[in-house]
Chain A
Amino acid sequence: SQKIEQNSEALNIQEGKTATLTCNYTNYSPAYLQWYRQDPGRGPVFLLLIRENEKEKRKERLKVTFDTTLKQSLFHITASQPADSATYLCALGGNAGNMLTFGGGTRLMVKP
């Protein structure tokens, strides 16, 4: 069955460092992958999309890579700030209509 894995343990880093979050998947051939941010008590907010034929995408301090051979996406936040503290979700799509399948999310804590 399809499986999307994100580190369930929280990632704690120091302000100013680069945070790297991992999304691995199996039994899936997504046409694209999306990353979302979720704050406590709120719905997820879309951040970035990367397509299967793209290796890397950047948006301000965010960078996403997509390796379809390794079946992995890496999500980087450079020069991290305490305001970046949140849970980050990856989602895969494109195999069946417009539906997304989400990973469980990784909680990021940036300490000042």
Chain B
Amino acid sequence: DAEITQSPRHKITETGRQVTLACHQTWNHNNMFWYRQDLGHGLRLIHYSYGVQDTNKGEVSDGYSVSRSNTEDLPLTLESAASSQTSVYFCASSDRTGEAYGYTFGSGTRLTVV
């Protein structure tokens, strides 16, 4: 069965370290998204991609970067982790007509920056 997986599920890192969160989907979806979810803010878009070699900034992109070298993967990198980046991170994917079928989300990565 097709799926979208995120790893790790939990991560503790120190301030200033570079951290990469993985997202892998086998739906063959063109569109992939990274959101963070915090109490009081809901889901906020960090970065998104509409296909290989395409990346775009979302609402809260400062301090984050992504790259899309193939259809299946969109890793999210925190260049220099800060305590304000402690959050739950969700990756999602959709096909070109995502409006009709919605997003498929991963199970999330809980990141703690100490």
A and B physically associate:
yes
Whole-angstrom distance from the CB of A7 to the nearest CB of chain B? 13
- Residues on A with beta carbons closer than 8 Å to the beta carbon of B105: 43-45
* Cross-chain contact of B102 among A34, A42, A99, A101 (Cβ < 8 A): A34
Determine if A94 and B99 form an interchain contact, defined as CB atoms under 8 angstroms apart: yes
Q: A98-B94, A103-B42, A104-B40 are in contact. Are A49 and B102 (CB under 8 A)?
A: yes
Write the A71-112 contact mask toward B (1 if CB under 8 angstroms, else 0).
000000000000000000100011001111111110000000
The docked-state distance in angstroms from the alpha carbon of A102 to that of B36 is 11
- Residues on B with beta carbons closer than 8 Å to the beta carbon of A44: 43, 90, 103, 105
Whole-angstrom distance from the CB of B52 to the nearest CB of chain A? 16
* Cross-chain contact of A99 among B33, B41, B106 (Cβ < 8 A): B33
Q: How many residues of B contact A (CB 8 A)?
A: 27
Q: A32-B99, A98-B94 are in contact. Are A43 and B42 (CB under 8 A)?
A: no
Determine if A42 and B107 form an interchain contact, defined as CB atoms under 8 angstroms apart: yes
Write the B14-45 contact mask toward A (1 if CB under 8 angstroms, else 0).
00000000000000000101010000111111
Determine if A46 and B43 form an interchain contact, defined as CB atoms under 8 angstroms apart: no
- State whether the Cβ of A10 lies closer than 8 Å to any Cβ in chain B: no
The docked-state distance in angstroms from the alpha carbon of A104 to that of B39 is 8
The docked-state distance in angstroms from the alpha carbon of A94 to that of B100 is 11
Q: A99-B45, A99-B48, A104-B41 are in contact. Are A42 and B108 (CB under 8 A)?
A: yes
* Cross-chain contact of B92 among A42, A43, A103 (Cβ < 8 A): A43
The docked-state distance in angstroms from the alpha carbon of A104 to that of B41 is 6
Write the B76-114 contact mask toward A (1 if CB under 8 angstroms, else 0).
000000000000001010101011111111111000000
Can you list 6 A-B contacts with CB-CB less than 8 angstroms, sorted by A residue number?
A: A8-B40, A34-B99, A42-B107, A42-B108, A44-B43, A98-B96
